[in-house]
Every structure is written in C-alpha cells, then in structure tokens.
C-alpha cells in the first residue's frame, strides 16, 4: 500500500487539525501538484481528497463531483495517463474496490472552466461491459414516460431512471425523488454554479437538469441509466464526455400529439398551448444531423416498444447482455501495486515474501469515466500455478 511521504504527513498535520490515520493516506504527484487521498472528508462519509500545489506550497480542498467511495481501512493509488488516479480499496465489499479519481480528464477540465474552482471527480470502475446510458427525447405527450415505464417494468434489474431536478410543480401522482427532485430555482442555480449538473435547460418556462449524481446513483447500482430530457439537454449531453445512445421519439402526427397531451389531463390549457408550440421546434430539431442515433415513431404503443427493445438489443435476451458481470474480488489490506503498460499488477502477498498471488487488472479496454462509471476493466488472477480469468 502507498503511504504518505513524511513531508506530506508533517504538512497535513500542521494544516489540518484532524485525527487522520497517516497509514490510510496516499500521495500521488501529477505535474506540480500532489493529490493526497485518504482519511475522510468533512462529512466523514467518503474518502477525502486534498491537493498540495507545490509551486505555492498551498493546500487546496477541491470540489469533489460524483458519487464517492465509502471510507475503507486503506487503499493504494497509482497514476494513469497523467489524468486519473486508480484507487484500489482494501477489504471492501464486492464491486466496490476500484475507483478512479479523475484529476485532469476532459470532463474535469470542462468542469473546472465552468466553476472556476479546483475540481476532481470520482468514477467507479466496473468489470466488463456495462451498457451505455440511454437518452430519450421527444415532444411533450409523445409517450416517452410511457415507454420508459414499460422498459423499467419489464427489466427492473437492468434499467434505472435518472431522476432530474425541476422547478415545475409536481403533478398529482408524482413523487419527489422518484419522478423528479422538485426544487426551487435559486437552489438549482446554486448547484449548477457549483458544477453539480451534467446538463440543464429551460423547458416550457421551467428549469430542468440532470445532476451528475442522478446518473451515477443508477450506474453504481449496476444498472443502465435512462435519461428523459429535452432536445437542448440531449445536445449538451452529446457535447459532454458521457457516452450515451440518443433516441428521439416522434408522434405519428401533430394532431395525435395534441390529442394525447389533452387526454393525459395533467396540464392547463395555457400549458398545453405552450407545449404544442415548443413541440414544433423540437420535432424540427429531432432531425438535426448527428444528434440522435435512432428515431422512433410512437404510433401503436406495443409496436414502438418492440422497436425500442430491438434497438437496445433486448428482444429475447431478457436484458441480461447489458448487465455488468458480478464482481468478486477481494483485495487484502497488505498489497502493493505497480503498472506495466496497460496492466496493473496487484501483489497480494505479504511484504517481503515472494508472492504467489498476483491479480492483474487490464486497462486496455477502458471506456467511459466521470460522470458515470469507468467501464471495460478486465481482471485476471494468477493463483499458485494457473492463470485464472475471472471475468
């Protein structure tokens, strides 16, 4: 396990009047900065991150984005590609060992520019090929919610819904934190300023947005994330670092759209008129080249649903293909890590012994990253004589 160099320990103790177990700290140099990972943050719920700017000698507590790893007894840390630090937690539960602390990825650079503050982001590493998030857009009343509800009902363990924030009032049957996080504009604007949102847009006179956490909560539950967002939001996600599949849902006709919106009975006449005016522009934008990967016409619901499943490769597979494989990795407290090209060797033998148990993490197929999971980790284990492929 990496330990904090003495100068860091002295500095930390001097600057931070906290009880920190120094054995739990790791320090990783990236350019003229040292990232110190360990202890807990202010909330005590997650592993803390501090940055020493070596040119000024000052410590910075960065804004930390994304769902964060729970504290562990210890961890090791190793720099990858100068832009992210692989953190391997010890003695952690299945599926919670590998976390990437992004320090200079395109996502971080984008967020740093937006917020004007120092930013890092955690992205959980997953073995195998978890499916990309799915963005579904289309005019109000076209049936996006209905299609998503069907998908989630048929494949409850495969898909999870990204719960957006909105400043609009809840409808009668809508529940806070299930359909939306209903909030006030001032709170949402503050969070947007602090870089907590992946995207946001003003839609039908209200503010809507997807928080980074909304996407990560779903990914961390091992599910494939579905985002129901408007065309402006889809455009922002397309421009972001989140790799997703983009689907636009059209009505068979404008008249049918109006009929559905009225039949739903959730909006006032004035709101319906506004939604119909916006629908015209959205339908035009839905055809923007390069924005959507698939266009679905929701005429007959069952037909449209079958097409949706087809393009998500779900027909007949029961959705199993898009699920992450189970992870069963047990990293002992006393381990050491080294990097050879795109492979991380995790030596689980006790210090000073010739190890017979080396775990190899293959990073050659890494994809994704914050906000969301870092996918495509491959894992092998050499136990005694054999080379065992675990996933």
Ligand X SMILES: Nc1nc2c(ncn2[C@@H]2O[C@H](COP(=O)(O)OP(=O)(O)O)[C@@H](O)[C@H]2O)c(=O)[nH]1
Ligand Y SMILES: Nc1ncnc2c1ncn2[C@@H]1O[C@H](COP(=O)(O)OP(=O)(O)O)[C@@H](O)[C@H]1O
DSSP 188-235: HHHHHHTT-EEEEEEETTEEEEEEHHHHHHHHHTT-EEEEE--HHHHH
Q: Could you give the maximum distance between any two Cα atoms of the chain, in Å? A: 76
Between residues 86 and 207, which has the closer beta carbon with respect to ligand Y? 207
111 is an interface residue for ligand Y by CB under 6 A: no
Q: Name residue, tokens 């040292």.
A: 34
Interacting residues with ligand Y between 241 and 260 (CB under 6 A): 260
- State the nearest-atom distance from the C-beta of 258 to ligand X, in Å: 12
263 is an interface residue for ligand Y by CB under 6 A: yes
Residues 6+ apart with CB under 8 A from 247: 134, 135, 136, 137, 292, 293, 294, 295, 296, 308, 311
Between residues 49 and 135, which has the closer beta carbon with respect to ligand X? 135
Distance (Å, rounded) from C-alpha 173 to C-alpha 45? 33
Distance (Å, rounded) from C-alpha 351 to C-alpha 356? 12
Between residues 100 and 161, which has the closer beta carbon with respect to ligand X? 161
Q: What angle do CA 216, 101, 331 make, to 5 degrees?
A: 90
Q: Which of 301, 306, 333, 365 binds ligand Y (CB under 6 A)?
A: 301
Interacting residues with ligand X between 143 and 162 (CB under 6 A): 145
- State the nearest-atom distance from the C-beta of 181 to ligand X, in Å: 10
Q: Which does 263 bind (CB under 5 to 8 A by kind): ligand X, ligand Y, none?
A: ligand Y
Q: Which of 46, 115, 146, 232 binds ligand Y (CB under 6 A)?
A: 146
Which positions are annotated as active-site residues?
171, 264, 275
- State the nearest-atom distance from the C-beta of 292 to ligand Y, in Å: 15
Interacting residues with ligand X between 217 and 246 (CB under 6 A): 228-230, 232-233
Applying CB under 6 A, what is the total number of residues that bind ligand X? Answer: 17
Helix, strand, coil distribution of the chain in percent, nearest 5: 25, 30, 40
Q: Which does 319 bind (CB under 5 to 8 A by kind): ligand Y, ligand X, none?
A: none
Give burial (CB, 10 Å; 0-12/13-18/19+) of 363. buried
Q: Which positions touch ligand Y (CB under 6 A)?
A: 138, 140-146, 260, 263-264, 298, 301, 304
């Amino acid at each position: 396990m990496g330990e904090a160099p003495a100068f860091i320990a002295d500095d930390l103790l001097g600057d931070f009047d906290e009880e920190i177990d120094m054995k739990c700290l790791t320090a990783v140099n990236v350019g003229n900065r040292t990232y110190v990972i360990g202890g807990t943050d202010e909330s005590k719920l997650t592993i803390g991150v501090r940055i020493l700017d070596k040119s000024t000698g000052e410590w910075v507590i960065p804004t930390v984005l994304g769902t964060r790893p729970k504290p562990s007894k210890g961890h090791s840390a190793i720099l990858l590609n100068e832009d992210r630090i692989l953190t391997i937690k010890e003695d952690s539960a299945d599926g919670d060992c590998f976390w990437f602390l992004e320090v200079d990825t395109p996502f971080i650079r984008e967020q740093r520019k937006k917020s004007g503050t120092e930013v890092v982001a955690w992205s959980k590493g997953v073995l195998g090929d978890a499916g990309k998030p799915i963005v579904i857009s289309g005019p109000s009343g076209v049936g996006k919610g209905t299609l998503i509800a069907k998908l989630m009902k048929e494949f409850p363990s495969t898909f999870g819904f990204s719960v957006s924030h909105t400043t609009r009032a809840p409808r009668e049957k809508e529940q806070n934190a299930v359909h939306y996080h209903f909030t006030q504009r001032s709170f949402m604007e503050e969070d947007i300023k602090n870089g907590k949102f992946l995207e946001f847009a003003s839609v039908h006179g209200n503010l809507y947005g997807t928080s980074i956490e909304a996407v990560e909560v779903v990914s961390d539950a091992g599910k494939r994330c579905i985002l129901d967002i408007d065309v402006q939001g889809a455009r922002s996600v397309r421009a972001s670092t989140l790799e997703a599949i983009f689907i636009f849902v059209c009505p068979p006709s404008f008249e049918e759209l109006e009929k559905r919106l009225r039949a739903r009975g959730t909006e006032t006449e004035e709101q319906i008129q506004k939604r119909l005016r916006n629908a015209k522009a959205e339908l035009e934008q839905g055809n923007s080249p390069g924005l959507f990967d698939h266009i679905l016409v929701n005429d007959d619901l069952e037909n449209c649903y079958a097409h949706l499943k087809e393009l998500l490769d779900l027909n007949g597979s029961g959705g199993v293909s898009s699920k992450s494989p189970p992870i069963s990795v047990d990293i002992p407290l006393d381990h050491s890590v080294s990097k050879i090209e795109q492979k991380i060797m995790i030596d689980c033998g006790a210090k000073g012994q010739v190890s017979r148990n080396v775990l190899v993490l293959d990073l050659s197929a890494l994809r994704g990253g914050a906000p969301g999971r870092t996918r495509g980790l491959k894992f092998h284990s050499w136990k005694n004589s054999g080379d065992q492929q675990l996933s």
